[in-house]
Structure 1
Amino acid sequence: MIKAVLFDLDGTLLNRDASVQVFITNQYERLYHWLHHIPKDLYTSRFIELDQRGYVWKDRVYKQIIEEFSIEGLTWEELLDDYISQFKHSCVPFPHLHNMLDELHGGGIQLGMITNGFGRFQMDNILALEIEPYFQEILISEWEGVKKPNSEIFKRAIKRLHVKPEECIFVGDHPEYDVYSAQKIGMKGVWKRDPRRTGAKKADAVIDDLSELTHCIRSF
């Protein structure tokens, strides 16, 4: 019997691709005085390219942008501070996020989250999505001192929820970091399909939309 569901954040609950597009467009407009010599489409597309879907931290991204576009009057540190303080205002949830969490919570399922990233930054995004109250446990890699795909962070989560691995499902968009890593310790791994990643062939189930999760759980 499934007693708990654990989630990844970026690409699973938070539509990070859409959020980044909103953020970088807003940043360009907010800092237009210093960026106006760069076409908006070029600035936004280059940021997204350098960001590599969040796998490159923004100090490196902004250093490269300052150099490539010969930006004067702004430092990379100021651009990074803007990212850290303002990104939370651009968070875009995936469709049906709150309805899905309401269904699971109403059904007596415990909820947890495991996400890689910086603690305050990720928590700000969670708060912006207005989902923090749903979760009994939220583990963020910076604060835990360990990150996915290390099995330790998964073991900590299920220990804190007082459940066995076989009583848990992990839902994520990354085949290795989310699905396979959870399966290694005995959890069910559900892949939230990402069209820009290769398929998670060994996933216990695949969903395209968060609204499918409740039915998916009943199949286990």
Structure 2
Amino acid sequence: MFDHQVTDVFFDLDHTLWDFEKNSALTFAKILVDNKVNVDFDGFLEIYAPINMQMWALYRENGISKSELRYQRLKQTFDRLEVLVSDEVIDKLAHDYILHLSSFTHLLPNAKEALEYLYPKYRLHIITNGFQEVQTKKLRGSGIHHYFQKIIDSEMAGVKKPHPYIFEMALEKAQVDPKNSLMIGDNVEADILGAKAMGMQVLHYNFHKDSDHGECIMINDLIEIKSIL
């Protein structure tokens, strides 16, 4: 299935193991009510989701800072909804979102089953572009932190996937050759192309229902890992 023996498996976290969409929606359901923001909830989520993706793409390319990402994704959503929300309230929502997000612990279907299967056979690690103060809480809260030997995030590395250095740091910390490593993630540019450029083997978890890109094996359910590794 793969060109070389795999000894180490590196996972992305959000949209790959941790159910970002569900946990994010639950967080907003809480903080919008707590902050008395009167908005159509389904309409808010529908507009917020693509804006958040755009902001993250800009953040990966160093087009915006962490604080700008947190502010702009909310500001632009409220502007599109034509709902007037003060900067003070937006800043409070941005703070509360980070505070409460990791308290929701839903994983994607079969994430734990896949990790249980892999854990005795491979060394497992995380490479994430998420924020350091949040990602560890997500892993601990959802009960999967103990599966992973090394957890590398973009704030620790000083760069974000697909930059080569974050993969280089991860490989160095895990003390493994790229050719014996497998990266599993949902984002073609950040996870798949980024890891391939470093000589790692790759597996695309097709969370976003992308069309077949021919870059690597693609799976639509994490349980399929059992038939591949």
TM-score range, shorter chain: 0.7 to 0.9
**Structure 1 residues 181-211: Cα deviation after superposition (integer angstroms, max 9, x where no partner):** 21122211100013443433111x2111111
SS at match of 1:22: helix
Written as runs of structure 1 = structure 2, the 5 A alignment for 1:3-152 is 3-31=7-35, 34-36=36-38, 38-52=39-53, 55=56, 57-65=69-77, 68-71=82-85, 75-107=89-121, 109-152=122-165
SS at match of 2:125: strand
SS at match of 2:133: helix
Partner Cα separation in structure 2 for residue 7 and residue 200 of structure 1: 20
Match of 2:210 in 1: 197
Q: Percent of counterpart pairs with the same letter?
A: 25
Task: Give the unaligned 5+ runs of structure 2.
Answer: 59-68
TM-score normalised to the size of structure 1? 0.86
**Structure 1 residues 85-136: Cα deviation after superposition (integer angstroms, max 9, x where no partner):** 01112342111212211211122x1011100022102222222222111111
Q: Give the direction of change, closer, same or farther, for the CA distance of 1:154–1:49 in structure 2 (3 Å limit).
A: closer
Partner Cα separation in structure 2 for residue 120 and residue 87 of structure 1: 11
Output the amino acid matched with 2:194.
S
Partner Cα separation in structure 1 for residue 41 and residue 160 of structure 2: 35
Partner Cα separation in structure 2 for residue 10 and residue 175 of structure 1: 14
**Structure 1 residues 149-184: Cα deviation after superposition (integer angstroms, max 9, x where no partner):** 011111211222121111111001111211122112
**Contact 1:9–1:114, Cα closer than 8 Å, also in 2:** yes
After TM superposition, give the deviation of residue 61 of structure 1 in Å.
Answer: 2.2
Partner Cα separation in structure 2 for residue 72 and residue 54 of structure 1: 20
Q: How many residues align?
A: 212
Match of 2:197 in 1: 184
Q: Give the direction of change, closer, same or farther, for the CA distance of 1:61–1:134 in structure 2 (3 Å limit).
A: same
TM-score normalised to the size of structure 2? 0.83
Match of 2:180 in 1: 167
Q: Give the direction of change, closer, same or farther, for the CA distance of 1:196–1:22 in structure 2 (3 Å limit).
A: farther
Partner Cα separation in structure 2 for residue 7 and residue 100 of structure 1: 11
**Contact 2:157–2:169, Cα closer than 8 Å, also in 1:** no
After TM superposition, give the deviation of residue 26 of structure 1 in Å.
Answer: 2.6
**Contact 1:9–1:113, Cα closer than 8 Å, also in 2:** yes
Q: Give the direction of change, closer, same or farther, for the CA distance of 1:54–1:125 in structure 2 (3 Å limit).
A: farther
Output the amino acid matched with 2:178.
P
**Contact 1:193–1:199, Cα closer than 8 Å, also in 2:** no
Output the amino acid matched with 2:25.
Q
Partner Cα separation in structure 2 for residue 9 and residue 215 of structure 1: 21
Output the amino acid matched with 2:37.
L
